[in-house]
Structure 1
Amino acid sequence: MSREKLSEDDSAYDDPPEGFVPSSTRGPYTTHNGPFFHKVTEDGFWHGVRVRERHCNSRGITHGGMLMAFADGLLGTAVFRETHTVALTIRMTSDFLSSARPGDWLEGTARVVKATRSVCFCEADLYVGSRPVLKANGIFKLMQRHKEG
């Protein structure tokens, strides 16, 4: 599909890879920044987004804040999938490894490294194709009063 012929307002612009479906349970901030997609595999989960001009800085590459917000969502998803508990970000560090540009498919996954009764340590990786874009590490406070089940 030639993205040059599509407006970024055209839903065909998103063109997610096979297996990705639209995410419909996101909060207002993330929904505003999307549209986002997800898929679940035997090995875990993936989130993805087609980078648009509105995701970029004045240099035409994906804004670091956008990448960090995307990674934060991945980390939070990993924590919830592992602990079934709502959690809040305590700390997040990010290493910017390369850039993403409009039209690129940005995807990522995350995993829990260690969970205690009160905090969870996790890491996320973002890619364009096989090229690493960002690596993030997070510490999340588990909100036990919001535990599922």
Structure 2
Amino acid sequence: MTFDPLAAGWKQRHGQGPFTQLVGPIFAKREADGASAYGLLAEERHTNSRGVVHGGMLMTFADHMLGWLVWDLVDRKPCATVALNSQFTAAVKPGDWVEMRGHVVRQTRSLIFVQGSMTVAGKTVFAAEGIWKVLGVN
């Protein structure tokens, strides 16, 4: 049985650019503490030659999710990824429901430092930390 994010209270994230539309849809959910969680239903088209979700797909999801976290934090000012480091800790398979949550570690005038992790059924499968630049701010 396939997980149905809409039935579980997730909403499709709108305003996604052309690339995100190719790899998504990505879903969002506001949690009780006000934080946002993001979800992706892994599909066959996301896999590599070994039949597991391609690491680049997980990095794409992380880049989008952490970028949205920063974008919301800075009142939707333009931002760009400066660095994104990742650790792959378990394989993700087609049919898996992948959730990602993140938080801000530090904020300067023009740089935002964030961390996040992805889980499948409560098990961590991927972790990332990154730096985003708020464009137009020195």
Alignment TM-score, normalising by the size of structure 2:
0.91
1:101-140 equivalences under 5 Å are 101-140=93-132
Cα separation, 1, equivalents of 2:26 and 2:112: 25
Q: How far off its partner does 1:42 sit? A: 3.2
Q: Aligned residue for 1:53?
A: 44
2:51 aligns to what SS in structure 1? coil
Q: Which runs of 5+ in 2 are unaligned?
A: none
Cα separation, 2, equivalents of 1:111 and 1:27: 23
Kindly report structure 1 stretches of 4+ aligned residues shifted beyond 3 Å. Answer: none
Cα separation, 2, equivalents of 1:109 and 1:40: 11
Cα separation, 2, equivalents of 1:115 and 1:47: 22
Q: Higher helix proportion, which one?
A: 1
Give % identity.
38
Moved more, 127-136 or 81-90: 81-90
1:69-80 equivalences under 5 Å are 69-80=60-71
Q: Between Structure 1 and Structure 2, how many residues are aligned?
A: 134
Q: What is the aligned-residue RMSD (CA, Å)?
A: 1.4
Moved more, 20-29 or 34-43: 34-43
Alignment TM-score, normalising by the size of structure 1:
0.84
Q: Does 1:93 align with 2:85?
A: yes
Q: Which runs of 5+ in 1 are unaligned?
A: 4-13
